[in-house]
Chain A
């Protein structure tokens, strides 16, 4: 009975502390939904309106028609006309130009003779995926155009039937929303809990807490519960935004989805505790969270690069990160509709990470609170 009373007292203290700082409260409650809303719209991983420059040295009208056809597609936009092919390299310095289409002279004559005209595509390969895909798409547009204007070339085979599973309309939100949710939980849940612990350390109030007749467990639980409540609010607000604004419907069991979110949030909070046990200043907490939680989870979790294309060893390293488990499980629950059985690996990993991280941080936390278990 005494234990519950102790925990309730610490919860009350923490709630009062959070409530006092109005600016933090505003940021804390609004931030996750705002980030998902704004960047769900802004972030897009698709080949759309790639800026290109064109060269038509002899000003042939047929070439202009080809350029107009390329410009008319969703994928490209002609932003620049070069006078001659000597300007190609310099063209990449401005206007975010990613490709230069050069059609050699004699295009009209070649087309009329039934020959395949010569076209050169110069691509900025510093982003290989974009470069290759854009070249392939441009190639398709050009060959359709040639077939149309020159009936004497071979009839083209039919376009294959394509079906995109789980995302038939290729909506961009399906790529960005899981990643954004991952970023939000890993940053905010971890930062807010560890900051609240380290602030006490920095101001010396942790010594006072250690003097109280509380067990370390009670103090930690009492301090964590209010933040858990805020995190649950975050889960629902982010879910609301992704459901009502981006129409991301959950194909699987919504309860399982909720469980995943909760598990991931608790996982992030456990990492927050670990950081709190290591750091002595809030400055260190902020830097650790950004450098060692945010960067690896964003780049290695499959949010940007598919896990399948990683080298074997580093795929294993990526699975150590909680973000990987979250994104994989999110995708399979929300898009594929798999049940718990299909997601045993991510759930198991998230759970074991929580256990390991808490075990590691336990000793230091107990020591810091005066050794009173």
Chain B
């Protein structure tokens, strides 16, 4: 135990000496959490160009309905389809709605032409979402009265539909992941490169104790970034963890275990820092993109879905969304905590054995 404390002391002293690194760690929550969430869309905003060639009561009512919707920030009338498409091309609007001639008069007849919608399909989620909003606004029965639509919508967990909160949690988790893993991997490899590792093997200090001390110090550094990030989010966006705060912190601590062990694993296989950096890019990119940070789990192919069982970030994101966004308690996320725990145990068993063997 004394050896562990001595090693921790050494790491803290070494960390304190490197001013640039401390500045980076300290500044990262400010730069990342203080700027990026502001640029995220707080609410879905669609710019729509309407070409009304019918100019009837029905088409005008539909236009008003669209205008009244909070999702359509800008609804502008265009004289011709060509000008409307030109606006779409210039990125000034994201959708074009065309009411054909005689739409109201011929409604219900077999050859009648329905309204036309043109939109940019390059961003699939936006295209699908925007189309769904517009179609919903166009649900209007042309001749006669309107049937009451009695499908009720209930928005849980985020009734104001703030688009930021989900990504604030992702950013916080990303911050913890990147700081912890980069620090521990490159710190170990740089000691290996400078020959410290060889010297260490001549001392009675066991490599496991030495590495555990590094894990403790770097976990503290990432948790510091997490705390600073949470504090900033609270000041800037009024964001606070919906569930119990200790559950979120516990998750972060348990998550750091497998994540740091992955970093140690990379350090153990790479001979120099260049190799370590490249391997880190490969491993971290895979872990980040395979987790559900940017895409939906359900839309992935089956093999990619199965890969989540070896991905600590997936469980962390899943659990922290439940705790931080939806307000579930520790009892609801125990499967994720158990999975992280298991990943940590298995990885540690493999990697520490390899490290002890080199002694």
* A72 on interface, CB distance cutoff 8 Å: no
Tally A-B pairs: CB < 8 A. Answer: 358
* B136 on interface, CB distance cutoff 8 Å: yes
Residues of B within 8 A of A291 (CB): 24, 28, 31-32, 175, 178-179
Smallest CB–CB gap between B159 and chain A, Å? 6
Q: Tell me the count of chain A residues lying within 8 A, CB to CB, of chain B.
A: 119
Distance A282 CA – B272 CA, assembled complex (angstroms) = 10
Q: Which of A96, A158, A199 contacts B114 (CB 8 A)?
A: A158
- Contacts A/B (CB < 8 Å), 27 sampled: A23-B271, A24-B278, A43-B295, A49-B298, A49-B299, A123-B154, A125-B158, A128-B44, A129-B126, A132-B71, A133-B129, A138-B151, A157-B138, A157-B139, A161-B113, A161-B114, A162-B116, A164-B121, A174-B121, A183-B285, A279-B20, A286-B280, A295-B32, A295-B175, A305-B163, A309-B45, A310-B40
* A372 on interface, CB distance cutoff 8 Å: no
Residue from the set B120, B129, B131 with the largest chain A CB neighbour count within 10 Å: B129
Residues of A within 8 A of B129 (CB): 47, 129-130, 132-133, 136
| A128 close to B162 (CB less than 8 A) | yes
Distance A159 CA – B140 CA, assembled complex (angstroms) = 11
Q: Which residues of chain B in 42-86 are interfacial with respect to chain A, using CB atoms and an 8 Å cutoff?
A: 43-45, 47, 71
Residues of A within 8 A of B156 (CB): 89, 92, 122-125
Residues of B within 8 A of A183 (CB): 285
> Interface of B with A (CB < 8 Å)?
18, 20-21, 24-25, 28, 31-32, 35-36, 38-41, 43-45, 47, 71, 88-89, 91, 94, 107-108, 112-129, 131-133, 135-136, 138-142, 144-159, 161-163, 165-167, 171, 174-175, 178-179, 182-183, 186-187, 190, 270-275, 277-282, 284-286, 289-290, 294-301, 304, 318, 321-322, 325-326, 328, 332-333
| B44 close to A299 (CB less than 8 A) | no
| B147 close to A281 (CB less than 8 A) | no
Residues of A within 8 A of B113 (CB): 161
A119-B150, A287-B24, A295-B174 known; A131-B161 Cβ under 8 A: yes
Smallest CB–CB gap between B65 and chain A, Å? 13
| B149 close to A282 (CB less than 8 A) | no
* A233 on interface, CB distance cutoff 8 Å: no
Distance A64 CA – B266 CA, assembled complex (angstroms) = 52
| A160 close to B44 (CB less than 8 A) | no
| A128 close to B157 (CB less than 8 A) | no
| A139 close to B136 (CB less than 8 A) | yes
* A167 on interface, CB distance cutoff 8 Å: yes
Residue from the set B41, B131, B159, B183 with the largest chain A CB neighbour count within 10 Å: B41
A116-B148, A304-B294 known; A167-B277 Cβ under 8 A: no
A42-B304, A124-B326, A296-B35 known; A160-B114 Cβ under 8 A: yes
| B298 close to A48 (CB less than 8 A) | yes
Residues of A within 8 A of B108 (CB): 155
Smallest CB–CB gap between A219 and chain B, Å? 19
A21-B272, A137-B132 known; A305-B41 Cβ under 8 A: yes
Smallest CB–CB gap between B320 and chain A, Å? 11
Distance A355 CA – B41 CA, assembled complex (angstroms) = 32
> Interface of A with B (CB < 8 Å)?
21, 23-24, 27-28, 31, 35, 38-39, 41-51, 77, 89-90, 92-93, 96, 116-133, 135-140, 142-143, 153-168, 170-172, 174-176, 183, 187-188, 191-192, 195-196, 199, 202, 278-288, 290-292, 294-296, 299-300, 304-311, 314-315, 317-318, 328, 331, 335-336, 338
Closest to A47 in B: B128
Residues of A within 8 A of B117 (CB): 160-163
| B20 close to A135 (CB less than 8 A) | no
